[in-house]
Amino acid sequence: MNNDEVLSLIKKLGEEDSYYLRKHARERMNERNITTSDIKDILTNPKRVLRTDTENEDGITSYKIEGGVHNHRLALKFDEDQAIIIITVMDKR
């Protein structure tokens, strides 16, 4: 997938609430005061793919994206059912 296709898929799945957060992402949300509303905003308003990692141990490509009104960042991947797995949540830095 190219970056535009990735962003389109993220937006589509975000609008369908087809995503879940790993424990690590939930912990980072608490540390960084990022809400579930912020997560929804990032997913439904993705702005750009910052990095694509294809050399993951599990063989699944992951993406670091930026989006939402506050330009927060997420690391995510897609599962076999085309749901978003949110790996971690980052402040804009």
Number of structural domains the chain divides into: 1
**In this structure, what DSSP letter does residue 35 have?**
-
Name the pLDDT band for 82 (thresholds 50, 70, 90): confident
Residues forming a β-bridge with 51: 64
The domain that contains 49 carries what CATH number?
3.30.2310.40
Torsion-angle region of 70 (φ positive above 0: left; ψ -120 to 50: alpha; else: beta): alpha
**What is the spatial distance between Cα 39 and Cα 18, in angstroms, rounded to a whole number?**
12
The pTM assigned to this predicted structure is 0.91
pLDDT at position 92: 66
**What is the spatial distance between Cα 14 and Cα 2, in angstroms, rounded to a whole number?**
18
pLDDT at position 89: 95
**What is the spatial distance between Cα 64 and Cα 61, in angstroms, rounded to a whole number?**
10
pLDDT, tens digit, for every residue of 2-34?
999 999 999 999 999 999 999 999 999 999 999
List the domain range (segments joined by +) for residue 8.
Answer: 3-90
Name the pLDDT band for 62 (thresholds 50, 70, 90): very high
54 against 91, higher pLDDT? 54
